[in-house]
Structure 1
Amino acid sequence: MAIRLKSRWFREGPQRSAAERGGVAAVASWRLGIEMVKRLQRAGFGIEVGAGYFQVLKEVAIFLALLADRQVHARQSPEERDEFTVGMVRHLAATYAESATEWLPPRRADGPDWADDFLAAWNTVAPTYADFDSDAVSGEPEIAFVRHFAWRLEPLLPAADRVWVIDQVMSIEVPEAAQALRRTLAGVFDETPRRARPATAATGD
């Protein structure tokens, strides 16, 4: 089933900053990530409710942020790309923290919060994808890009599921998500003025 997301995000008005666009991309990516985890569960992968679910969701969200970073690089200067990605990751960290706070046991008051946990994971994981890219036209990530993502998911799943996850991710999950994300980003960066709606004539007796 194709994933559908909103394709036009901004009303007419001042040009949005790269960070604002990153925040919007984060909203879409979070929804894509949740849907991907749900599909994995429906496909029979043993993703436990609770901590295991959030471990997988965090890995998925980081992958989607990296994919968005690759998909927009041709649209922005290096400085704007950095601003976009930082804005996206910070928004994802805040969303992750809000959700984890609601569903998981409290963190220690003197320790890192859930947003810190997400950002620490980003800082560790993102460099491992440094050599991977996506196609400039189709937005499809390189095979090695997707395989690396699947390899990172493997240890988060029960042993019996690990043999199947690479095929599931490469043939179903990522192609769906990559196209949905590319359509969303096209809307995020679309500055074409909207058509004015025709005026409705007033009627009366």
Structure 2
Amino acid sequence: MALRIKSHWWNDENDRSLAEIGSALAFIAWRIAVDKAINLHCERFVYSNDAQRLQVIQEYLVFLIQIADRLSFGRFGDEDRRALVTSFAKKCIEHLQDNSTDLLGPGDYGQVFVERLNTRSGEYADFELSPEGPSYAFLRHLGFEIQSLMGQHEENRWVIDQVMDKDGWDAYKRFAKAFGDLFE
């Protein structure tokens, strides 16, 4: 089933704040991340539980936050770029906290995500995003992290290939298009 993403403002005559755009980006990123987690299941990769699936969603969110930061570079000054990416990340944390609480029960899921985001930000810093898209290393890192989360099930041994060759690339394309659309 195709994922439909609305990335145009209903009333495009109004100016949008960076916080509003960040919130819209977070909603779009959440939908893409969930879609990619579901797609792994549809491709017959195996999750042990909902917590594992939520961790895969988190890896996609971290990846898309890195993409947003790179797409913002050159479009905004440092202060506006920081404001946009920060509001985007904060809204992602809210989505994650709400959904994790619903699935797993009470807990501070946002703090764990912030720690993951901070760690991954340092790791992704060396990878390139060109006008053609993320580099091989960028996508490989996403695939590696998801492979690590999926465990050593025999069914999951090719998950890195699925993420690198299809799902990560598709997530990037959908998100980059939506990112551009929100600024039209």
Query: TM (normalized to structure 1)?
Result: 0.82
Letter aligned with residue 22 of structure 2: G
Which residue does the alignment assign to 1:170?
Answer: 164
Deviates more, 1:158-167 or 1:169-178: 158-167
In structure 2, C-alpha distance between the alignment counterparts of 1:47 and 1:93, rounded to whole Å: 22
In the TM superposition, what whole-angstrom CA distance separates every residue of 1:53-107 from its partner, at most 9, and x where no partner exists?
1111111111111112212323212221111111110000011000001110333
CA shift, 1:158, in A, is 2.9
Q: Which of the two has greater helix per residue? A: 2
Structure possessing the higher radius of gyration over alpha carbons: 1
Deviates more, 1:4-13 or 1:71-80: 4-13
- Whether 1:126 aligns to 2:121 is yes
In the TM superposition, what whole-angstrom CA distance separates every residue of 1:164-201 from its partner, at most 9, and x where no partner exists?
122111111022111111111111111xxxxxxxxxxx
Runs of 4+ more than 4 Å apart: none
The 5-angstrom pairing of residues 7-156 of structure 1 reads 7-9=7-9, 11-107=11-107, 113-136=108-131, 138=132, 140-156=133-149
Contact 1:19–1:87 (8 Å) recurs in 2: yes
Letter aligned with residue 119 of structure 2: T
Query: TM (normalized to structure 2)?
Result: 0.91
In structure 1, C-alpha distance between the alignment counterparts of 2:10 and 2:114, rounded to whole Å: 27
In structure 2, C-alpha distance between the alignment counterparts of 1:50 and 1:173, rounded to whole Å: 20
Q: Compared with structure 1, are the counterparts of its residues 10 and 121 closer, same or farther at alpha carbon in structure 2 (3 Å cutoff)? A: farther
In structure 2, C-alpha distance between the alignment counterparts of 1:79 and 1:35, rounded to whole Å: 32
Letter aligned with residue 187 of structure 1: D
Contact 1:73–1:81 (8 Å) recurs in 2: yes
Gaps of 5+ in 1: 108-112, 191-205
Deviates more, 1:146-155 or 1:5-14: 5-14
In structure 1, C-alpha distance between the alignment counterparts of 2:105 and 2:4, rounded to whole Å: 33
In the TM superposition, what whole-angstrom CA distance separates every residue of 1:95-121 from its partner, at most 9, and x where no partner exists?
1000001110333xxxxx122222222
Q: Compared with structure 1, are the counterparts of its residues 20 and 11 closer, same or farther at alpha carbon in structure 2 (3 Å cutoff)? A: same
Contact 1:66–1:126 (8 Å) recurs in 2: yes
In the TM superposition, what whole-angstrom CA distance separates every residue of 1:127-175 from its partner, at most 9, and x where no partner exists?
1111112123x3x111110001111111211312453122111111022
Gaps of 5+ in 2: none
Which residue does the alignment assign to 1:200?
Answer: none
Contact 1:65–1:89 (8 Å) recurs in 2: yes
Q: Aligned residue pairs: how many?
A: 183
Q: Compared with structure 1, are the counterparts of its residues 60 and 135 closer, same or farther at alpha carbon in structure 2 (3 Å cutoff)? A: same
CA RMSD of aligned residues (A): 1.8
Letter aligned with residue 23 of structure 1: S
